[in-house]
Amino acid sequence: MGYFKDLEIEIIEMFEEGATVPQIATKLMIDQDIVESLVNNYINQEYDYDESMDGDFDSAMTSAGFGTDEDYGYYGNE
């Protein structure tokens, strides 16, 4: 993952473990307003989570380099 996503995960984990917004900001040496915004989004469940690929086996296999049968010219028993 990227730096900012990892930072967001770390902030949420610290918050879940009982750290306060000022404690998190101080420990990670970042602006308290940023921490507060992320924590508020977490509390209100306002994330940018993309579920479009969740549970989609064909898309996952295509992304992994394993295309569908049609991608390789097979369309069933002909």
Using alpha carbons, list the distances in angstroms from residue 71 to 45, 61, 68. 38, 12, 5
Nearest to 12 by CA among 40, 32, 31: 40
Per-residue pLDDT tens digits for 24-65: 999 999 999 999 999 998 888 865 555 565 566 666 666 666
In a domain, 78, yes or no: no
Whole-angstrom distance, CA of residue 12 vs CA of residue 61: 31
* Residue 24: domain span: 3-72
Whole-angstrom distance, CA of residue 49 vs CA of residue 24: 23
In a domain, 36, yes or no: yes
Which pTM does this prediction carry? 0.57
Whole-angstrom distance, CA of residue 51 vs CA of residue 55: 9
User: How many domains does the chain contain in total?
Assistant: 1
Q: Which of the pair, 19 or 63, is modelled with greater confidence?
A: 19
Whole-angstrom distance, CA of residue 48 vs CA of residue 55: 18
